Amino acid sequence: MTTSLQVQDFERGFLKAKPISGPEQRPQSIAEIDVRQSVLEDIALKTLYLSGSLSILELSDKLRLGYAITSEVLSRLRAESLCSVTGMSSNIAQLAITSQGRSRAVELLSQSQYSGTAPVSFDCYVQQVRRQSVQKVQVHAADVERAFAHLVVDNVTLRQFGTSLNSGSSIFLYGPPGVGKTTMAEVLSRVLAEDEVWIPYAVEVDGQIITVYDPAVHKRVKESEPGDHDARWVLCQRPAVLVGGELTAEMLDLQFNPISKFYTAPVQVKANNGVLIIDDFGRQRLRPEELLNRWIVPLDRRIDFLTLAGGKTIEVPFEMLVVFSSNIEPEDLVDASFLRRIQTKIRLGAVTDEQFIEIFRRISSEKQVPFDTEVPHLLIEFIQETLGQELRSCYPRDIVNQVCWAARYDDRKPYLDVAALTQAIDAYFPKKANRQSAEQPLIFATLEKRAMQRFGSKTAGLASA
């Protein structure tokens, strides 16, 4: 995978880009800072009030500003008698807030309780997001093949994935349940995750603070950060955010906390420069047509509009790869105008017999479950002929899991023979209520008969896991 600023690095097996230029240089004075000095002074005073006595060095660490800039900020606070120097430690001034500063800090905290890391300006954030756009990433066959090496995927589908990643736009994965749509979507995000982008701790807009960096979403790459970078930014892998049935309209807007009185960025802002996965699309609390109306412009023009509590609307970059995953056919979910804005539609369906057996072998090896060689063939025949269903990639893992759970209950090592397969099938596949008592012996008899017909014995051989 390459970007316009990419160099080759084979340390982790993937092609990897250098950090994108921007926040690599630390500001040396307030004149080089992109936010107003008054914003820095207010945050410094609140931090000092909440932390108690601090040295200038400790305060600069909390603000993530350099020592020189913190000293400039404090000189103004000291001039207004909001803080004072109480002593020296290793030639570094020790600070304490004054009674006047305490009153001012309480007033500021009533307006916003944000303290700590100094924010970056909104304009600076927008510029950086544009520089790091997913549309500037180039994905090649080797990148996709490495990312999907642990899965059984045909070359045609891999090519579709690679092509869609190069669009940097949106993808619709659809097909029946259990064919691996969510897994595929997550692996797609890993292809882009090998690239690195800058994420700010917080952004300032007209005196309002919006927190962006989320450790649960953004995976920091601290070892790649330049030593003299702007510490208000964090170097991370391109983010991947997954939302499912819990998605609501409110989650797509700025989250204002009425107690702390500052904002948290919505999911699509946290996913900027990365991947946003809408899993099980069509079954959210947010109806598809509502999402259509909300995102028809962002998907087309790559900009979103967010509203602050006072009514001010800000234009935010919508720079991410959006992956929709659904069990429902696309035309049954949304209208043609929305589908046109989803550039790539990929259907994931049943696997072949050969793919099914390979998945079964890999899962058994991963779980350390030895199995008789006829077992996967018997399972295929049962699914296709007895149940009349297509082969889905979820079945091998689910059946092997059933065998492992039963072995744990019996306090023995798992082993997958015809008897274990019969028990797993009986537990896994649903049965009609009026036939439940009779089906288990029928399943056993059917599988045993097929094993004898195909292999001559239930123990025709052992495939090592």
Does residue 64 share a domain with residue 193? no
Q: pLDDT: is 8 or 377 the higher one?
A: 377
166 occurs within a structural domain? yes
Rounded Cα–Cα distance for residues 358 and 368 (Å): 15
Q: Does residue 392 fall inside a structural domain?
A: yes
Q: Domain with 80 in it: what CATH number? A: 1.10.10.10
| Reported confidence tier of residue 443, pLDDT bands at 50, 70, 90 | low
Q: What is the mean pLDDT of residues 353-376?
A: 95
Mean pLDDT of 258-276: 95
Q: Is the pLDDT of residue 174 over 50?
A: yes
State whether 211 and 341 are in the same domain: yes
Domain end call among 96, 117, 138: 117
Closest CA to 345 of 281, 271, 269: 281
Residues 218 and 317 placed together within one structural domain of the fold = yes
Do 100 and 46 sit in the same domain of this protein? yes
The residue among 64, 93, 117 that closes a domain is 117
- Can you tell me the mean pLDDT for 443-450? 59
Summarised one tens digit per residue, pLDDT across range 51-102 is 988 999 999 999 999 899 999 999 999 999 999 998 887 788 889 999 999 9
Assess whether 221 and 343 both reside in one domain: yes
Please answer whether residues 60 and 66 qualify as being in contact, where contact means their C-beta atoms are separated by less than 8 angstroms: yes
Phi, psi for residue 200 in degrees, rounded to 5: -80, 150
Q: pTM of this prediction?
A: 0.82
In percent, the amount of the chain with pLDDT more than 90 equals 65
Residue 420 is classified by DSSP as H
The reply to whether 231 and 109 lie within a common domain is no
User: Can you give the residue range of the structural domain that contains 269?
Assistant: 123-347
pLDDT at 323: 93
**CATH number of residue 225's parent domain:** 3.40.50.300
Same domain? For 289 and 169 the reply is yes
pLDDT for the residue numbered 9: 37
How does strand 263-264 pair with strand 255-256?
antiparallel
Find out whether 356 and 204 touch, Cβ atoms under 8 Å.
Answer: no
Q: What is the reported pLDDT for 464?
A: 41
pLDDT band at 332 (very low <50, low <70, confident <90, very high): confident
In eight-state DSSP terms, residue 220 is B
205 plus 62 within the same structural domain: no
pLDDT value of residue 366: 95
Among the three residues 289, 315, 347, which one is the final residue of a domain in this structure?
347
Tell me, what's the pLDDT at 140?
Answer: 92
**Does residue 21 fall inside a structural domain?**
no
CA angle (238 as vertex; 232, 241 as ends), nearest 5: 100
Q: Are residues 197 and 333 in the same domain?
A: yes
More confident residue, 21 or 179: 179
Would residue 30 count as lying in a domain?
Answer: no
Kindly state whether residues 268 and 175 are assigned to the same domain: yes
210: in domain = yes
Give the number of residues written for the chain: 465
Looking at the 3D structure of the chain, how many domains does it have? 3
Please check whether residues 201 and 315 belong to one and the same domain: yes
Q: Average pLDDT for residues 406-433, to the nearest whole number? A: 91
- Mean pLDDT over the full length of the chain: 86
